[in-house]
A and B are shown apart, each in its own frame.
Chain A
Amino acid sequence: MSPARILSRQALAGLARDRSVLILVAFFAAMVLVTAWLGWSATATVNAIYADAAAYLSGAGQPVPPNPVSTSAPLAVLRNLGVYISLIGAFGAIVIGQHLVEADRRAGTLPLIGAGPFARRDIALGKMRALVTATAAMMAVAGVIALGTLLTLPSLVVTGPDLGRLALFLLAGWAYVTTFGFLALGAAARLPATAAGLIAATVVWLVITFVLPELTANLHPTAAINPVTTLAATPDAGVFHLFSALLGPVSLAEGFAWLSGDLLGFLPEGLAPRGLVPPALALSVALVLSGLFAAQAATRLDLNAGGPDA
């Protein structure tokens, strides 16, 4: 077994035994279930309202429009999933990323690892591999629950292409959360003070989620976490068009929201993504860049620092 794989397995075993990581993953799974329930509730409520309204309209001799639920894409019931991935999933990845460095630092095992017969590169690769696996596991949990929801809701007809789009959506979600996980891993490796990596990565995430959408589209923070209101057109003012073009590629939360809307079928017709770079490309580039940052920082990690009160 390669050193990177040994280190990765050890790190994953550590993650699986850390209570705060487990609680966050359970919280994420619970919220994905809530998404399922919200999807069911939304469908059932609109169906009931439609039945009431249809009875009134036919009684009044007026034409009855089609049920809005039947005209929307089946995957749209999962629209909240994108929001929870970008909130809880990203934060979970940040916690995992910082834990991969902090746990060794606090346990005082960094010098022991550093004295092992392998290259610094292997240490970085081992940690990154553990992160990538852990975030993939989170997305797998989300995928299983999402699939269960789609198959349980009787009014939905899910086709093969729909499942393909769901898989692509989960892949985009994985890329999005892993980007923040890499950031946290790199920040924790660079900043030795306790929780400094966690706080630094959280600040970046906050700016991307709540500040950039204000600059690109005058989207207030609460609108930025609503799957429907976040998909708003850029206001018709020169400044917003300029910011949208400049910041669009780094406004990853908006990019992920746009991709979610596109893949799950609730994107308003004709809504263009912010900036000229397609969101899928922007997310991929962000993942690669954050991965490089994590690799560089973890390779240069100070292996002498550590101990319970580090």
Chain B
Amino acid sequence: MPELRPSLSGSLLTIALRDAREQARDRVLLWATLALVAAAAVSLVTGAIALHGDAATYAAARAQLLALGKDAAAIAAPEFYPLKLLRGTIEQIEIMGAVIALVAGYRAAAAERGRQTLALILTRPLPHWAYGLAKILGGAALAAVALALVLVATGLLLRLVSGIGLGFGDAGRLALTWAAGVFYLTALFTLGFGLSLWAKSPVSGLIYAFALWILVVLVAPQIGDTMDPDNQVAGGVFAQLSVPKAEQDRIKAGFAGYESFRNGIEVASVTKHFERFTFAVLGIKDTYTGAPLDKVLAEKRGDLLFLFLFSLGLGGVVLLKPINPDRLTKES
């Protein structure tokens, strides 16, 4: 009898396509993506309304100054950079996008365990790691499509609320944001998938994944933020003590070790790298607003590299860890 051996790429495609078709029929992820679009849209619109309010306040103050015959240059005009309005969108991708990716990863594992199909796939002539790889590639494809939908929708909405069309440069920045987002969400998908595949029951895996999400996505950056001395006193500690800038720097230098520790907690979170990279690329962080893209990329390539290596490392762990045959069913 001739030996039957499917090609590796064929097997990967077969598994990934079956997953995609199942997701398309199930529609849970479609609804989740639409919910993310809605959340991103809410962020964008409320941001625009707030900016509009600032502009109106500025216009009123300026008119008042001019009426009094004073120089209007005394008050700073609110600056408008459309991409800055995407701050809320990025944060929703960071938080809600991450949850959707975890749930998608959980579903990719739970579906196979609950039906005994994992055992059927693993007794086919393909390496076991290929199964994991197919699932992760499927997750990356899902993340790519969902994020493209979110960013295109918010891009169009941005034009609507700001009245300014996005140029090629802006589109390039959005494309970079998309790429970083795909790495970020794929990493979280992999985490949800791996834990749901390894845990005693997939639900336990999902719970562990959510707990890690809270720690990595929410708590670690929050701790770093809270430890900032200037966030410990309302209005900032130095401002309240009326210490001049030069003296502030001297005092801060004495806390270099503390500051490194604080930064260390922040950068342990993959979310913070995603945020730092996208905030810089989109000019959300003031120091990068209007900065040329090549300069931003030169400074922030470390964050992108971290995202890439983190996704790769997590994927590697999931692929290399053998699948426990006692985990073939939903409950074991």
Contacts and interface: CB of A to CB of B under 8 A. Distances in A.
- Are A and B genuine complex partners? yes
Interface of A: 19-20, 23-24, 27, 31, 34, 38, 41-42, 45-46, 48-50, 52-53, 56-57, 62, 65, 68, 72, 80, 83-84, 87-88, 91, 95, 102, 106, 194-195, 198-199, 202-203, 206, 210-211, 214-215, 218, 220-222, 225-228, 235-237, 239-240, 266, 268, 308-309
Given A19-B200, A227-B226, 16 more contacts: A38-B223, A46-B233, A50-B237, A53-B241, A80-B226, A84-B219, A87-B214, A95-B207, A195-B206, A198-B206, A198-B207, A210-B96, A220-B88, A226-B225, A237-B49, A237-B53
Contacts of B219: 31, 84, 87-88
Contact of A23 (B91, B206, B211): B211
Given A20-B204, A106-B201, A65 B92 contact: no
Given A49-B251, A194-B110, A195-B203, A91 B331 contact: no
Interface in B186-242: 199-204, 206-208, 210-211, 214-215, 218-219, 221-223, 225-227, 229, 231-234, 237-238, 240-242
B241 A194 contact: no
Interface of B: 35, 39, 42-43, 46-47, 49-50, 52-53, 57, 87-88, 91-92, 94-96, 99, 103, 106, 110, 114, 199-204, 206-208, 210-211, 214-215, 218-219, 221-223, 225-227, 229, 231-234, 237-238, 240-243, 247, 251, 254-255, 258, 275, 329-331
Contacts of A194: 110, 114, 202-203, 330
A45 B238 CA distance: 12
A268 B234 CA distance: 8
A263 B88 CA distance: 30
Contact of B227 (A19, A38, A215, A225): A38
Contacts of B258: 45
Given A194-B114, A218-B47, A220-B43, A49 B237 contact: yes
Contacts of B226: 38, 42, 80, 226-227
A194 B219 CA distance: 28
A24 B42 CA distance: 32
Interface secondary structure of A, over-half rule: helix
A198 B53 CA distance: 39
A226 B95 contact: no
B237 A220 contact: no
A69 to B, nearest CB: 8
Contact of B243 (A57, A102, A235): A57
A199 B31 CA distance: 13
Contacts of A65: 240-242
Top 8 nearest A-B pairs (CB, nearest first) are A237-B53, A308-B331, A221-B91, A218-B50, A68-B233, A42-B232, A20-B204, A20-B207
Interface secondary structure of B, over-half rule: helix
B227 A214 contact: no
Contact of B103 (A56, A199, A226, A266): A199
Contacts of A52: 251, 254
B330 A53 contact: no
A91 B329 CA distance: 26
Among A27, A203, A218, find the residue whose CB has the most chain B CB atoms closer than 10 A: A218
B230 to A, nearest CB: 10
Contact of A236 (B53, B99, B237, B329): B53
Nearest to B231: A228
A227 B232 CA distance: 10
A266 B251 CA distance: 26
B210 A210 contact: no
Given A106-B201, A194-B114, A214 B43 contact: yes
A91 B213 CA distance: 11
A49 B255 contact: yes
Given A91-B211, A226-B222, A237 B52 contact: yes
A239 B275 CA distance: 28
A308 B329 contact: yes
Contacts of A53: 238, 241, 243, 247, 251
